[in-house]
A and B are shown apart, each in its own frame.
Chain A
Amino acid sequence: MKKIKNKEELEKLRGRLKKEREKYEILISVCAETGCIASGSLNIYKKLEKEIKKIKNRKIKLLKTGCHGFSEFDPAIVIYPEKIFYVKLKEEDIEEIVEKTIKNGEIIERLLYKDENGKCISYLNEIPFYKKQNRLVTRLNGLIDPENIEDYILFEGYSALIKVLNEIEPDEVIEIIKKSGLRGRGGGGFPTGRKWELCKKAEGTPKYIICNADEGDPGAFMDRSVIEGNPHSVIEGMIIGAYAIGSNEGYVYIRHEYPLALERLKIALKQAREYGFLGENILNSGFSFDIDIVRGGGAFVCGESTALMASIEGKVGEPRAKYIHTVERGLYDKPTCLNNVETWANVPLIINNGWEWYSKIGTENSKGTKIFSLVGKVKNTGLVEVDMGITLKEIIFDIGGGIKNNKKFKGVQTGGPSGGIIPEKFLNLPVDFDRLNEVGSMMGSGGMIVMDENTCMVDVARYFLNFLKEESCGKCVPCREGIYHMLSILNRITEGKGEIQDIEKLKEIADVMKKSCLCALGTTAPNPVLTTLNYFEDEYIAHIKDKKCLSGVCVSLVKYYIVPEFCNGCHACYKVCPIGAIEGDVKKVHKIKQDICIKCGSCYEVCKFNAIKRD
């Protein structure tokens, strides 16, 4: 491929690509992101490839794309132009799809998504999961092959870069980003344009650009999906940022556990170089910029900007004080502009559509859309992109379809392990940076874990603190020791050894941590404890005073026993008990041997006669 030198050449290429794509009557997109691949989508792809080859009279294009977002129903395919959406496919279904749908345009009901009432929905855009979404950053997931730069070019790709290089001065670019109201998607929500401006004004060269792709929150996969689905949008954003700030060197710091994203990013960077979007004298503008990849080593704390920079420098990944900001003294003590994957991916959108367009989306202080990974006890788990300001209720109940197994909603945790748990009374809360902070949680990078009535809130706080105990770097005293002591107290409470003063102690430790920890990992670590204490204090009291876990989660406080009057000796519990703690012959009353019962609750779940009670 000859390097593209100007707008005309790019337009010419795009024209050719458009014509090529228009030749195809049918386009089948197979979701091939880490999650989808795990559910077997590559086998679906191979089988489709084989079957399609047999069709000679029609031009069909098969695409391996990023995630459609509807993870719950993987592996899934979309057949264009109608956008027929088939879910939870098996290899055996492929022949039928080819025979009926591809050849004859017939829709196979069996493979369609069914809504709550069992009604089949044929087309992607009619599915409730997608209705309230506004897919901007993820708009091309499902339409392009992330391993082919030409697919990206076909859909406006690199137009923003050309526009910027040809028509807009660096300072003006910063002004556009400032006016758009874009805020950092990594968690802090710092105004992106302002960050760029500060970095540009900072003394010292070289200046560095970094993309933070060290997405470590449990249950979060937004950044992975963006890179796996559309890596060039991130690269284009970074090049534009570099041009605006005056940087010639960039890094993507990518999580060790993301091999596929890494692979696709490598391919994308190579292709971007080949096409002349990266490297020396980009598009003949005289501006040079290139990007290197640095792979993380598996530490959660390296998602923190200063720890990340230390890690790139080859030092131990530990945060340092940010009293002198990283825009002034960051990587190698030089001015550095670090933004998250999603933030970078927003940049080309803003340039292409204008800041006026962008600033109309969202709320007053939080503009644009936000991608969330909706997980937990919700019916439709998956990747969700919504306008800022949408309510939690809309996300969880309209998009997410409500709680699994028709259980009751109890809380939702936003913002990763150090986010807070938001109770039912705030379900109508509009989701944006400031409103989430007001209720003691945070936007974070966009994890959203939904919890149902069977969740014990003390246990949840304990769980997250346990995660943070492992992941705190241990550098500063309040974080290292504070988490440890809070966790010890929570362990005691869940074991029924808590005392009422413990609640006060937890609050005191949390207060000190919030004020005195070195980095945001420490200052936000108490959030799960504080919010559960705030909104679910009765559960703490029940654990401490009554020695009871009403959700039946804390094994030390739970006892299962069989009510003889209800037991008809069906033997179901006997069969399901994993350690043989249930004795009794068929058709005779059974009994649980309390001394060996591990309180897993399997018998409780399986008993159809309400004979097993939990206390």
Chain B
Amino acid sequence: MEKIDIVINGKKLEVEKRKTILEIAKETGIFIPTLCHHPSIEPYGVCRLCTVEIERNGRKRFVTSCNYPVEDEIEIKTDNEEVLKIRRMILQFLIAKVGYTGKIKEFAEMYKVEPVFGIGNDDCILCGLCVNVCKELIGVNAISFSSRGINRKVSSPFEKEPFDCIGCGACSFVCPTGAIKIIDKGNFREITKINAKLELEKCKICGKPFIPKKLIQYMKNKIGLKEEIDTLYLCDDCKKNVYLDRINLLTLIGGKK
């Protein structure tokens, strides 16, 4: 890997080319706040909270550290006054949208941010993690953004039930504000905000509905499974019991020998 020289907060470093500023900061123990960043997902660069100042060839610029690949002889300042000014205002914008939710509260305290534009009660900061996890990691692309500007929102196609959704719940798992909730009720799983409602498979043993039918189908397709495996249709508890029984059986057989 090609190495290059950089300066970060006055400290000279030799680092790998093509790494992002955020990655290097993390390795060096420098804290940069992020909201839309997730290590398993391609940097999206929209919350702009990770903005830092860089200087190269005498030219100063502000860039987002999550997706800026370091270059030779670049000087990075991760928290000078101008950077903090940007972060404070972004937090003010977000507080005006969703109030003191999750990490925003933490950062607001850290940077001593006062709510200049009011305190909002929306739940989504449009970080895009749900959309991107569905696209990149799950490979389903069931949801996206709709509308423009201030009306932008996470949405299923035409705000109808998202026909591609497999009900895996990854969107809910990565959501930093808890805006997407999974509710398993009766024979159905509902995922709020994206209008998903999926029929659950019943456990073959205890009869408890436990996993979306579409998710089982998706997993089978994904791993190229042609035959049926009975344990796919068992809830966690029953699966545990079945496996325990099998292990017991094995030890019994072994004992006889």
Interface residues of A, Cβ cutoff 8 Å to B? 299, 301, 316, 320-321, 323-324, 469-478, 480-485, 505, 508-509, 511-512, 515-518
Contacts and interface: CB of A to CB of B under 8 A. Distances in A.
B67 interface: yes
A405 to B, nearest CB: 36
A478 B69 contact: no
The DSSP consensus for interface residues of chain A is helix
Contact of A475 (B68, B82, B94, B152): B152
Contacts of A515: 51, 62, 82, 86
Given A512-B85, A516-B90, A477 B152 contact: no
A435 to B, nearest CB: 20
Interface centre among A320, A471, A477, A480 (most CB of B within 10 A): A477
B66 to A, nearest CB: 9
B93 A477 contact: yes
Contact of B69 (A324, A477, A482): A324
A299 B63 CA distance: 25
Given A481-B97, A516-B62, A518-B46, A508 B149 contact: no
A512 B90 contact: yes
A477 B94 contact: yes
16 contacts: A316-B144, A323-B69, A474-B152, A476-B46, A477-B46, A477-B48, A477-B90, A477-B126, A478-B86, A480-B152, A481-B94, A481-B150, A483-B149, A505-B116, A512-B86, A516-B51
B64 interface: yes
Contacts of B93: 477-478, 481-482, 485
Interface string B83-103: 001100110011011000000
A265 B13 CA distance: 54
B145 interface: yes
A480 B127 CA distance: 12
A511 B144 CA distance: 31
Interface in B40-93: 45-49, 51, 62-64, 67-69, 82, 85-86, 89-90, 93
A197 B146 CA distance: 38
Interface string B16-49: 0000000000000000000000000000011111
B241 interface: no
A511 B96 CA distance: 19
A561 B244 CA distance: 91
Interface centre among A323, A471, A505, A509 (most CB of B within 10 A): A323
A473 B144 contact: no
B48 A316 contact: no
Interface residues of B, number: 34
Contact of A476 (B48, B68, B94, B144): B48
The DSSP consensus for interface residues of chain B is mixed
A516 B86 contact: yes
B64 A481 contact: no
B221 interface: no
Given A476-B46, A516-B62, A470 B85 contact: no
Contacts of A316: 144-145
Interface string B146-158: 0111111000000
Contacts of B218: none
A187 B62 CA distance: 21
A272 to B, nearest CB: 36
Nearest to B151: A474
B245 to A, nearest CB: 50
B76 to A, nearest CB: 13
Nearest to A479: B149
Contacts of B126: 474-475, 477, 480
A478 B89 contact: yes
B226 to A, nearest CB: 33
Contacts of A472: 148-150
Contacts of B243: none
A117 B96 CA distance: 58
Nearest to A487: B150
B149 A473 contact: yes
A433 B47 CA distance: 31
B80 to A, nearest CB: 12
Nearest to A485: B117
A472 B51 CA distance: 20
A573 B179 CA distance: 57
A470 B149 contact: yes
A518 B89 contact: no
Contacts of B128: 475
Contacts of A481: 93-94, 96-97, 150
7 nearest A-B residue pairs (beta carbon): A474-B152, A481-B93, A472-B149, A512-B89, A515-B62, A484-B150, A474-B149
A511 B150 CA distance: 20
A473 B89 contact: no
A518 B144 contact: no
A216 B151 CA distance: 20
Given A508-B89, A516-B48, A321 B149 contact: no
Contacts of A517: 48
A519 to B, nearest CB: 11
A316 B86 CA distance: 27
Contacts of B89: 478, 482, 508-509, 512
A476 B45 contact: yes
A437 to B, nearest CB: 15
A475 B64 CA distance: 14
Contacts of B147: 474
Interface centre among B46, B82, B147, B151 (most CB of A within 10 A): B46
A324 B89 CA distance: 27
B215 to A, nearest CB: 26
A324 B93 CA distance: 28
B253 to A, nearest CB: 56
B149 A480 contact: yes
A469 B150 contact: yes
A118 to B, nearest CB: 49
Interface in B134-168: 144-145, 147-152
Contacts of B116: 505
Contact of A474 (B67, B94, B148): B148
A323 B148 contact: no
A473 B85 CA distance: 24
Contacts of A474: 126, 145, 147-152
B96 to A, nearest CB: 7
Contacts of B69: 323-324
A323 B67 contact: yes
Contacts of A511: 85
Contacts of B51: 515-516
A429 B154 CA distance: 46
B149 A469 contact: yes
A485 B96 CA distance: 10
Interface centre among B64, B125, B128, B147 (most CB of A within 10 A): B64
A315 to B, nearest CB: 9
